[in-house]
Amino acid sequence: MGLLKTRNALLISFLGLTAINTTYADNFNADINDDAVKFQYNATNTSSNLDFSLAVLHHDEDGEIYNIGIQVEGRSLQQSNIFGSLGTKLYYIDLDGNADGAAIGLGGNLQVGIPNVEGLSIEAEAYYAPRVLAFNDIEHHLDFSAKIKYRVLENGSVYVGYRKANVDIEDASDGDLDDGFHIGIALDI
């Protein structure tokens, strides 16, 4: 019952935050490999550059990671083709009955548009939750991804990426919930 309450609280918090203002640019990402699937929804407040995110990563054998996030995003002051964000994510990690817990990760992402190839970009994202920001069975959590993305439609892109979702469990060895390459789509809705 505790798991359901935590998941519902994360969803209600996200919906409450996004309902504050209705001027949002929405984005949906989905990516897969043989063992894992990740879905992510972002709502960016266009007047304040505040981004809210909601995501779930499901691994076929190892469990799930749920997260909600809040980030401030914007362009680099020095380079117009560099875009990024800084913020925090609240994670709930369920390792298929072996362990569960929460973590608060700090980090951000960086997107670099390739100047000579319209629609091509390289992106990386990293969030880290050290021991002081990890709870229950979780000792620390690293959420890292990098991808090459190409815009094929006005509102749609395809990408190839690499993800590492590392979880260190109390009184056990650390492990990767997902560590490998994936393909995906990004839709601006």
How far apart are alpha carbons 97 and 26 in whole angstroms?
34
Q: Taking 50 as the threshold, does the pLDDT of residue 118 lie above it?
A: yes
pLDDT above 70: percentage of residues in the chain: 86
Domain extent listing, the chain? 2-188
The answer, as to whether pTM is greater than 0.75, is yes
pLDDT of residue 11: 57
Confidence class for position 170, pLDDT limits 50, 70, 90: confident
Tokens representing residue 154 in the block:
């006005």
Q: Taking 70 as the threshold, does the pLDDT of residue 185 lie above it?
A: yes
Q: Taking 70 as the threshold, does the pLDDT of residue 21 lie above it?
A: no
Phi-psi bin for 101: left (phi > 0), alpha (psi -120 to 50), beta?
left
How far apart are alpha carbons 104 and 56 in whole angstroms?
15
pLDDT of residue 1: 43
Q: How far is CA 116 from CA 68, 76, 96, 112, 137, in A?
A: 35, 18, 46, 12, 47
Tokens representing residue 121 in the block:
């970009």
Contact 130, 158 (CB under 8 A): no
Confidence class for position 25, pLDDT limits 50, 70, 90: confident
Q: What is the pLDDT of residues 40-73, one digit of tens each?
A: 999 988 788 899 999 999 999 889 999 999 999 9
Within the chain, how many helices (H) and strands (E) appear?
1, 10
Residue-averaged pLDDT of the chain: 88
Average pLDDT of the segment spanning 79-83? 87
Q: Taking 90 as the threshold, does the pLDDT of residue 75 lie above it?
A: no
Q: Taking 60 as the threshold, does the pLDDT of residue 16 lie above it?
A: no
CATH 2.40.160 fits 2-188, yes or no: yes
**Which sign does the torsion angle of CA 125, 130, 133, 134 carry?**
positive
How far apart are alpha carbons 178 and 31 in whole angstroms?
12
Helix (H) / strand (E) element for 4: namely: helix 2-18
pLDDT of residue 56: 97
